[in-house]
Amino acid sequence: MINKVRILQGDGINEDTIWDIYKSLKDNKYSAENVTLGCGGSLLQGNEKSSINRDTHKFAMKCSCIKIGNEVRDVYKNPVTDKGKVSKKGRLDLIKNKNGEFETVNISDLPENQYHEDSVMECVFENGKILKTYTFEEVRKNVDIPINVLIRPRFGDFLYSDYEINIIRNEIKMFREAGVDGIVAGVLTKDGEIDVENMKRFIDEAQNIPITFHRAFDVCKNPIKAFHQLQELKVRNILTSGQAQDCLKGKKLLKELVDLSNKNNENKTEILVGAGLNIENIEEIADFTGAVNFHFSAKRIKQSKMEYKKQDVNMGLKEFDEFKILETDEELVREMADYLQKRF
């Protein structure tokens, strides 16, 4: 027996094999502390049913190089059971090659603070500090998907003063000139009707850029009348939960709106279903309503790293926990996209 040597089981770990491993330990009278499980792809990033994990995407971020004292050492993974998981080693950089494709290159032969002459890497966050922020123009250059910008000057209702209307119009103009693909906006009258005149001003300012009327629709007085008004204005989309707290509760009105939308293909205003949408309920909502357009935030709660937390002072709304941070979860987005691609 070798003292102080334990096992790290790192391949094939999932919710089923864990039970087999620990049963074997128990049967052979070994303590559970003698085994550590490496569980990345299957447990943290989906499973074999969803096919959304680092293994199916053939992508993972790995440490490739460390420095101990003055000595630089390569770090890499080379499992004998799966050569498809061999990782790259050494100091690495990312470049765009002559074919315009991204390529990882080894720069271990360069001085420590020197990078490849064609490097596209840029440090944006280091030691708790944001080093680089991006303008809309920079985002536009770096993504190949349509960008729709939500323009809402404040929290609260959707009855805006003349000053606030001008803010919205100026921002529509600014983003139009910056190359935005769509504008998301909305405005109501004090009686809860669609403010048709100001919507016309927004549409004129947007010129040929598609308009999505946001969830102000969910607090308007008459949703059917509002739909026809927005359709006449040639609004491209209406983002709505069916005037309910979430889209599952509002599915009856959503179905009615989708049916109305499908009656006019020439001047079609699409229903964009949102609020409370997730991978668990989208099938039920899609089946019931017939909707084909969906919006969801894919947010997760990230706990603050603050060690000292003063609980009796709010920086904004009292309902918000200052020490819980909402972030978009990339894996939730991938899972939803995978489902929608298979369905439609």
Angstrom distance (rounded) from CA 149 to CA 171: 10
Q: Is the dihedral of CA 306, 311, 317, 319 positive or negative?
A: positive
Which residues, at least 6 apart from 283, have a Cβ–Cβ distance to it below 8 Å? 339, 343
Specify whether 76 is located in the same domain as 202: no
CB contact at 8 A, 11 and 81: yes
Instruction: Return the SS3 of 202.
Output: helix
Half-sphere exposure of 317 (CA within 13 A, CB side): 5
**pLDDT level of residue 42 (50, 70, 90 thresholds):** low
Q: Please write the tens of the pLDDT for every residue from 272-287.
A: 999 988 888 999 999 9
Specify whether 39 is located in the same domain as 184: no
Per the structure, the complete domain to which residue 115 belongs is given by 61-121
CB contact at 8 A, 336 and 279: yes
* For residues 38-53, average pLDDT: 57
Specify whether 203 is located in the same domain as 296: yes
**pLDDT level of residue 17 (50, 70, 90 thresholds):** confident
Picking from 9, 30, 59, the residue at the C-terminal end of a domain is 59
- The alpha carbons of the chain give a radius of gyration, in whole angstroms, of 26
CB contact at 8 A, 258 and 288: no
Angstrom distance (rounded) from CA 258 to CA 250: 12
Kindly state the tokens that stand for 28. 């052979």
* For residues 21-42, average pLDDT: 82
Specify whether 96 is located in the same domain as 225: no
- 187 or 20: which leads in pLDDT: 187
- Residue 51 carries which side chain, given as an amino acid letter? S
Specify whether 97 is located in the same domain as 192: no
Specify whether 51 is located in the same domain as 85: no
Beta strands in 120-230 (DSSP E): 125-126, 129-130, 148-150, 182-185, 211-213
Whether 126 is covered by a domain: the verdict is no
Whether 163 is covered by a domain: the verdict is yes
Exposure string of 50-71, with b = 16+ CB inside 10 Å and e = fewer, is eebbbbeeeeeeeebbeeeeee
Specify whether 229 is located in the same domain as 186: yes
Packing angle, helices 282-289 and 251-262, rounded to 10:
50
Specify whether 180 is located in the same domain as 328: yes
Strands 211-213 and 182-185: parallel
Strands 270-273 and 237-240: parallel
92 pLDDT above the threshold of 80: yes
Q: Please write the tens of the pLDDT for every residue from 211-235.
A: 999 999 999 999 999 999 999 999 9
Specify whether 174 is located in the same domain as 292: yes
**pLDDT level of residue 238 (50, 70, 90 thresholds):** very high
- 31 or 168: which leads in pLDDT: 168
Picking from 40, 59, 78, the residue at the C-terminal end of a domain is 59
Angle in degrees, CA 301, 241, 246, rounded to 5: 45
Q: What is the pTM of this model?
A: 0.59
Strand partners for 8: 36
Phi then psi for 105, rounded to 5 degrees? -125, 150
Overall number of domains in the chain: 3
Mean pLDDT of the chain: 86
**pLDDT level of residue 128 (50, 70, 90 thresholds):** confident
* For residues 247-270, average pLDDT: 91
Q: Please write the tens of the pLDDT for every residue from 152-199.
A: 998 889 999 999 999 999 999 999 988 899 999 999 999 999 999 999
Angstrom distance (rounded) from CA 324 to CA 302: 6
Specify whether 100 is located in the same domain as 232: no
Highest mean pLDDT among 13-17, 195-199, 317-321: 195-199
Specify whether 47 is located in the same domain as 10: yes
Specify whether 176 is located in the same domain as 202: yes
CA 181 from centroid of its chain's CA atoms: 18
Half-sphere exposure of 102 (CA within 13 A, CB side): 5
Half-sphere exposure of 254 (CA within 13 A, CB side): 30
The pLDDT assigned to 75 comes to 92
Which residues, at least 6 apart from 21, have a Cβ–Cβ distance to it below 8 Å? 9, 35, 37
CB contact at 8 A, 48 and 73: no
